[in-house]
């Protein structure tokens, strides 16, 4: 019988190499892929989330665990049914028009992936119309808008408005973030959620799906 607890611990340690061997070994021993996912990996990521929130794990450690999780999922996915491998949701994310900063947004994308989301990262300098097109194409549950420059955050409003005009606003929840963005600003422009830092983005996204 595979040691699911050991698999969890390896995931929490962020050791992708060992995790994939352990997952393979468990499969070889006859453990079901769904059991590894539900009894080792998901509980492991829950611990990671908790520890991050308590300040016991730092972001680089969380990202290592997320990478390990992703490597393990790569092995398990072909063995899972569609229902079993369903992600927490799909989110498209991008930095708004006129803003070329993508580092913070990419960090959030990594954190969202680690929270189980399928992330479509559109990149930087994304015009409102391009967000609308991406919503049509990818049919996401959520959309994440990022701005670092105080001069470009106004594009968030324009993007929210463009989604309204296109009639797609009701289909997606809109999250906003970035250094100049505040909860109040998020409310003013009609967004559904605001995360003050990358660490809380995953939790927020989960709460909205």
Partner 1 sequence: MLAQNVELLSDDQIQTIHEASLGVLQEVGIRVLNETAREIFCRHGCQVNTQTGNVCFPQELVEKWRKIFPSTFRFYGRDPRYDITIPDDGPAIATTGIAPDVLDIENGERRRATSEDLSRIANLVNMLPGIDLFFVSTLLSDVPEDRYSLNSLYISAKKCLKPIRCGVNTVQNFKDIIALGECIAGGTEAFQERPFFYFGHTASISPLTINNESTSMVIEAVRRGLPSMAAVVPNSGLTAPLTSAGTLVLANAEFLAINILIQMVKEATPVIYYSLPATSDMRNGAFSCGGIESGILQMGCAQLARFYGVPSGGYAGATNAKLSDAQAGFEKGMSPMAAMLGGLNMVMLAGLIDALMVFSYPQLVIDSEIGEMIKRVYKGISLDNDELALDVIKTIGPGGLYIDSQHTLRHMRTATYFPDIASRQSWQKWWDTGKYDTQARALKRVWNILAGDNPDAFSPDVDAKIRATFSDSLYVSV
Strands annotated E in 30-163? 89-96, 117-126, 142-146
Name the segment binding partner 1 (CB under 8 A); options: 30-38, 80-88, 134-142, 148-156. 148-156
- Residue 196 is classified by DSSP as S
Closest of 165, 167, 118, 166 to residue 144, by C-alpha? 118
Contact 120, 92 (CB under 8 A): yes
Whether 98 contacts 151, CB under 8 Å = yes
State in angstroms the smallest separation of the CB of 135 from partner 1.
24
Binding status of residue 123 toward partner 1 by CB under 8 A: no
Q: According to CB under 8 A, which one of 17, 24, 100, 136 is a site residue for partner 1?
A: 100
Judged by CB under 8 A, does residue 182 bind partner 1?
Answer: yes
Interface with partner 1 (CB under 8 A), residue total 22
Q: By C-alpha distance, which of 97, 74, 98 is closest to 24? A: 74
In angstroms, the CA 101 to CA 83 distance is 36
Which pairing describes strands 89-96 and 142-146: parallel, antiparallel, or unpaired?
parallel
Q: Pick one of 27, 79, 88, 107: the residue that binds partner 1 (CB under 8 A).
A: 107
Q: Binding marks (x or -) toward partner 1, 29..68, rule CB under 8 A?
A: --------------------------x--xxx--------
The reply to whether 154 sits near partner 1 by the rule CB under 8 A is: yes
Contacts to partner 1 by CB under 8 A? 55, 58-60, 98, 100-101, 103-104, 107, 149-154, 179-180, 182, 197-199
């Amino acid at each position: 019988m595979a040691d699911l607890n050991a698999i969890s611990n390896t995931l929490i340690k962020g050791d992708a190499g060992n995790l994939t061997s352990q997952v393979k070994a468990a499969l070889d021993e006859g453990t079901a892929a769904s059991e590894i996912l539900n009894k080792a990996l998901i509980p492991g990521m829950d611990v990671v989330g908790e520890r991050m929130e308590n300040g016991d794990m730092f972001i680089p450690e969380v990202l290592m665990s997320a990478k390990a999780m992703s490597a393990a999922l790569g092995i398990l996915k072909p063995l899972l049914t569609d229902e079993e491998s369903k992600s927490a949701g799909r989110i498209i994310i991008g930095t708004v028009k006129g803003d070329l900063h993508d580092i913070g947004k990419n960090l959030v994308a990594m954190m969202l992936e680690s929270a189980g989301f399928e992330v479509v990262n559109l990149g930087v300098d994304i015009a409102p119309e391009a967000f609308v097109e991406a919503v049509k194409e990818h049919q996401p549950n959520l959309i994440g808008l990022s701005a670092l420059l105080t001069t470009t955050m106004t594009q968030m409003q324009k993007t929210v408005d463009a989604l309204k005009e296109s009639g797609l606003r009701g289909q997606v929840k809109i999250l906003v973030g970035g250094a100049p963005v505040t909860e109040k600003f998020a409310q003013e422009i009609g967004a559904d959620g605001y995360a003050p830092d990358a660490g809380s983005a995953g939790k927020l996204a989960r709460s909205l799906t």
